[in-house]
Structure 1
Amino acid sequence: MNHGTTGYIMTDDAKPQLTRIQQKNREIILEGALTVFSASGFRGATIDQIAEASGLSKPNVLYYFGSKDEIYQTLLTALLDTWLAPMLHIDSEGDPLDEVLRYVAAKLQLSRDYPRESRLFAYEVLQGAPHLGDILGGRLRELVDSTVVVLEGWMEQGRLKRVEPHHLIFSIWALTQHYADFEAQIKAVLGPGHDPYAEAQVYLDNLFRQMLAP
């Protein structure tokens, strides 16, 4: 392994990699940007706000990312990878009801653990997904289509009650991500002494179990 003079670590295949300090600074910037974008959306956010939220100077932010658009795209790409992971883990050889309920639980857990990311994604979609249109109509659609094939197979075998599989997936997204996107409303309505996500887990498990059990 050779060290270059650009601040990058050069691997044997000559591909530049960020040093540990540079990687840490990028992560700090992305964390600050997530706070700003999830509160203001892409249009309302500025590099100055991102720099302030990151605790770094504006020139420092622009050293690591060439533009606000680049920061936003980086966040959205990472977010989509995280959001899609539970669907990739649906096992066509597993018990159908268990697999669907596990997916519901995983999506709800993502909403609990990553509420800002969920709101950022919601902002993007509400604007017509200008930065994600190709991905939503490409990689996401392909993954959903392959999952629909699995669901339809289980339904044809009588192992799941027959429902429209696309809308089953949409309803899972809506009922789980709602708890992140409308967290303030839910907490205000429930009042103190409630754990919205724990209560939602019980409710959604029962809901989808009754809907899909053959």
Structure 2
Amino acid sequence: MEFRGITRECDRLWSEGAMALVGISPFNSYFSTERIQSIIDFCEDGGRAVALFVPDDVTRFTLQARGYTKDEAVRKTSRQMRYLRNKMNQAMGARRLAILGCESLATNAAYQNRLAEALDRFETDDVFRRRCLDTTRWVLSAKDGEPVGLDAAMLGVQYLLAELPLFFHASEMIGSDVVFVYHQCPLLISETYQGELAGKVSRGQGFGVLRPHELAGEAAEQLQTHALQVPCPNRCR
């Protein structure tokens, strides 16, 4: 595996042993049991603390944006989460790592405050709103390349907004230095960390890209950030 922080500060936090908060997408086939295990093993090397983050119940918004009804999306998300948790448990083995999700963070005051802040900013900051919708359209079109309308993007963006507090402020929720780890970094995140897009990152918070060596280079660039590899229901084909 190869880790790269998206800024020098992110690299510093990682080198000094900050906790790794590993993002795992529910419908992304990249996250096989073996892949999850190799990510955990790499992050734990040297005694680093590791926790997992899964955007659980909010995944339904992406499914709804792709044409599923709310009830269908809820059922499909629930089934997939059971399947994913089984894979994570197998990957962890005897280890019992903390698994965070948007549902479990409902009682975390820091998460709720930062989520409210993101939702308010989405309504009042035109540049931020446009970047969020652009990122959502990229996610939704990743599988088939079809254009994504505003209604679908407005549904799907709820998934992204629920994740943003973890990307930028997880250190507040966990109470220690944290580097969020994923296999790709969307422009919205890199622009925020690098100061090109207005927005603050909490003290002790970092973001890093972790990729298998065999996917380094051009192949790794083709990986989709949060692409949910789920087919559209028959009615939207």
Give the greater-gyration-radius structure (CA). 1
The TM-score with structure 2 as length reference comes to 0.26
The TM-score with structure 1 as length reference comes to 0.28
Larger RCO, structure (CA 8 Å, separation 6 or more): 2
The structure where helix makes up a greater share of residues is 1
The structure where strand makes up a greater share of residues is 2
